[in-house]
């Protein structure tokens, strides 16, 4: 469980601080969504890198294949 908190001054009618208010909030679901988003970003980056690598490997192979077909 992840908890967030906010601390605020508690003031009386004369606007004098007489204490503090501490509020806790369960942010577990928000944290889980942030983690899922980060994982999606990482997977997208890996996909982009794999596509770039495949492209870089195909270019030289295409020229080699092209030269073989011309000489045959």
pLDDT, average across residues 40-54: 92
The span from the CA of 1 to the CA of 32, in Å, is 10
Question: Whole-number mean pLDDT of the chain?
Answer: 87
Q: Which pLDDT score, from 0 to 100, does residue 59 have?
A: 75
**11 has a pLDDT exceeding 50:** yes
CA distance 57 to 64: 11
pLDDT of residue 55: 81
Q: What percent of the chain has pLDDT over 90?
A: 68
Confidence check: pLDDT of 39 > 90: yes
């Amino acid at each position: 469980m992840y908890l967030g908190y906010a601390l605020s001054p508690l003031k009386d009618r004369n606007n004098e601080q007489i204490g503090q208010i501490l509020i806790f909030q369960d942010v577990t679901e928000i944290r889980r969504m942030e983690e899922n988003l980060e994982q999606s970003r990482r997977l997208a980056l890996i996909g982009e890198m794999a596509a770039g690598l495949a492209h870089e490997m195909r270019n030289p192979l295409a020229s080699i294949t092209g030269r073989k077909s011309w000489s045959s």
